[in-house]
């Protein structure tokens, strides 16, 4: 498979080259030249295949000959080495838990897959070092740190805003060491992201070191997220009904992967983009006008995005046809107050403990059901994208019950934090050059 830039001003590249570059030289996102179709019999018989076998069939055409079959199978085994259970909340609504990975965030799958693919890149095998640079407002950093830990030939530098990530999240970034360096930035998440963006266009830096990104603009992270949708389809309750999936969305990488899976032939009837008050896409779906906004802080902070970078990929999937897109995708936005109420409501129904992002996914399904008459035709699934312990104080305050800390997290809470403090870009640059 070859990938082209959505700015249409860069040469096509292979899978591994796209992963290594992150963004195309013209600053465009990479997109596959065609969307492969899966055999109908494969989809019909999905239940007969293991998650590993499914993931292999799905991702193989995107990887092409860049990684040989045996290695690709190994990468998939190491990527999907935990469960994705589905829990029924009501007759019509179920949740798929994507947070059983090592950093307790759904981003683990994409980060693990990307890291392992890169370790097969000839560029790195030949002894060149690649630096992965990421800014995090919380969850991305932990997943990337864990996913790339001890991967040979790759150094990871994570920038996070001082005092603005939770204790658990900070320890996930700062306690690993080895090839993972954490930089505590005196500033906001936007300041961190600005520094990263400056580094990517700094010619002097680019002449000396090889830099790539590890957020969902990178196809290595983005494409692997398709796996969730196949697993959700395979294990869905009420298989006789039309499947509706609600995705708590920020940068729209995850939902875009779901739509790609659907385009490959997975029978998902409808998608719901559920957002917090950062409602650029729900507003777009109402009016057809795309107005990016400055992001607003909420309790579902991993979705505080005012200009979702992956939306351009969704538009491309539908050849920029607004009406085609609207047929498959609905969007609703919810305030913090509504989110808190939903966490309480979900807890009351089944004693199920959700967290702000998943709760917004739940609200999206309810809103869709409220707007339709033939709701009995549908089975809704929302994605639970993080473990509630990551939002411990918020969730415990709402449900008035303690959340148990998983053993894996308990361990890191005792480890010593290790990070460098920086305030401006020049400090980041000298650190990158001295590495």
Ligand X SMILES: *Cc1c(COP(=O)(O)O)cnc(C)c1O
Looking up tokens 């001890």, which residue turns up? Answer: 150
Residue with Cβ nearer ligand X (155 or 262)? 262
Residue with Cβ nearer ligand X (252 or 352)? 252
Residues in the interface with ligand X (CB under 6 A) total: 16
> Nearest Cα to 354, choosing from 246, 216, 255, 256?
246
| 248: contact with ligand X by CB under 6 A | yes
Core vs surface per residue 139-167: b (16+ CB within 10 A) or e? bbbbbbbbbbbebebbbbbbbbbbebbbe
Residue with Cβ nearer ligand X (10 or 302)? 302
Find the binder of ligand X among 205, 386, 409, 412 (CB under 6 A).
386
Core vs surface per residue 203-231: b (16+ CB within 10 A) or e? eebeeebebbbbbbbbbbbbbbbbbbbbb
| 249: contact with ligand X by CB under 6 A | yes
Nearest-approach distance from CB 357 to ligand X, in angstroms: 4
Find the binder of ligand X among 228, 252, 311, 332 (CB under 6 A).
252
Stretch that binds ligand X, among 50-58, 87-95, 151-159, 244-252 (CB under 6 A): 244-252
Binders of ligand X among residues 142 to 201 (CB under 6 A) are: none
Residue 418, classed as helix, strand or coil, is: coil
Given the residues 21, 92, 107, 162, select the one marked as catalytic. Answer: 107
Residue with Cβ nearer ligand X (216 or 330)? 216
Nearest-approach distance from CB 386 to ligand X, in angstroms: 4
| 295: contact with ligand X by CB under 6 A | no
Find the binder of ligand X among 63, 224, 303, 432 (CB under 6 A).
303
Lookup: tokens for 53: 């076998």
Rounded distance between C-alpha atoms, residue 166 and residue 370, angstroms:
35
Alpha helices in 175-274 (DSSP H): 189-200, 203-208, 219-224, 226-234, 253-263
Binders of ligand X among residues 46 to 105 (CB under 6 A) are: 105
Residue with Cβ nearer ligand X (329 or 386)? 386
Lookup: tokens for 160: 């996070």
Find the binder of ligand X among 107, 116, 120, 387 (CB under 6 A).
107
**In angstroms, how far is the first alpha carbon of the chain from the final one?**
34
| 284: contact with ligand X by CB under 6 A | no
Rounded distance between C-alpha atoms, residue 261 and residue 59, angstroms:
10
Residue 128 is among the residues annotated as catalytic for this protein = no
Find the binder of ligand X among 112, 120, 270, 357 (CB under 6 A).
357
Find the binder of ligand X among 51, 131, 169, 251 (CB under 6 A).
251
| 137: contact with ligand X by CB under 6 A | no
Q: CB pairs under 8 A, 24+ apart, for 283-290? A: 283/333, 284/311, 284/331, 285/325, 285/326, 285/329, 285/330, 285/331, 288/322
Residue 350: partners with Cβ closer than 8 Å, 6 or more residues away: 87, 88, 89
Residue 86: partners with Cβ closer than 8 Å, 6 or more residues away: 94, 95, 96, 97, 232, 235, 236, 237, 381
Residue with Cβ nearer ligand X (174 or 280)? 280
| 139: contact with ligand X by CB under 6 A | yes
Catalytic sites, residue numbers:
107
Question: Under the rule (CB under 6 A), what is the footprint of ligand X?
Answer: 105, 107, 139, 216, 248-254, 302-303, 357, 385-386
């Amino acid at each position: 498979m070859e990938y082209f830039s959505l700015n249409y001003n860069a040469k096509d590249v292979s899978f591994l080259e796209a992963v290594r570059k992150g963004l195309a030289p013209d600053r465009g996102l990479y997109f596959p030249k065609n969307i492969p179709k899966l055999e109908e019999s494969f989809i019909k018989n999905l239940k007969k295949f293991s998650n590993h076998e499914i993931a292999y069939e799905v991702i193989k055409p995107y990887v092409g000959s860049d990684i040989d079959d045996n290695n690709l199978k190994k990468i998939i085994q190491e990527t999907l080495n935990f469960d994705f259970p589905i829990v029924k909340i009501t007759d019509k609504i179920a949740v798929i838990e994507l947070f059983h990975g090592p950093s307790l965030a759904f981003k683990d799958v994409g980060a693990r897959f990307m890291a392992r693919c890169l370790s097969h890149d000839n560029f790195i095998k030949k002894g060149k070092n690649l630096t992965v640079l990421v800014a995090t407002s919380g969850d991305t950093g932990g997943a990337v740190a864990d996913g790339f830990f001890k991967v040979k030939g790759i150094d990871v530098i994570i920038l996070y805003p001082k005092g603005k990530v939770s204790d658990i999240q900070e320890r996930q970034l700062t306690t690993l060491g080895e090839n993972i360096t954490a930089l505590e930035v005196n500033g906001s998440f936007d300041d961190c992201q600005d520094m990263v963006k400056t580094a990517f266009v700094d010619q002097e830096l680019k002449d000396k070191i090889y830099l790539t990104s590890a957020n969902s603009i990178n196809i290595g992270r983005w494409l692997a997220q398709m796996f969730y949708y196949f697993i959700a389809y395979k294990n869905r309750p009420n298989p006789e009904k039309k499947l509706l999936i609600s995705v708590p969305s920020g940068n729209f990488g995850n939902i875009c992967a779901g739509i790609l899976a659907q385009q490959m032939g997975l029978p998902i009837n409808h998608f719901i983009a559920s957002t917090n008050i950062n409602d650029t896409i729900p507003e777009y779906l109402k009016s057809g006008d795309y107005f990016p906004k400055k992001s607003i802080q909420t309790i579902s902070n991993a979705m505080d995005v005012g200009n979702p970078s992956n939306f351009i990929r969704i538009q491309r999937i539908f050849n920029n046809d607004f009406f085609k897109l609207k047929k498959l995708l609905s969007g609703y936005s919810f305030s913090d107050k509504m989110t808190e109420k939903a966490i309480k409501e979900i807890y009351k129904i089944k004693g199920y403990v959700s967290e702000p992002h998943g709760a917004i996914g739940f609200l999206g399904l309810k809103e869709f059901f409220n707007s339709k008459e033939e709701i009995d035709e549908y089975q809704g699934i929302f994605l639970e994208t993080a473990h509630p312990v990551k939002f411990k104080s918020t969730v415990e305050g709402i449900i008035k019950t303690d959340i148990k800390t998983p053993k894996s997290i308990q361990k890191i809470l005792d480890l010593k934090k290790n990070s460098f403090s920086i305030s401006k870009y020049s400090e980041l640059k000298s650190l990158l050059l001295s590495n």
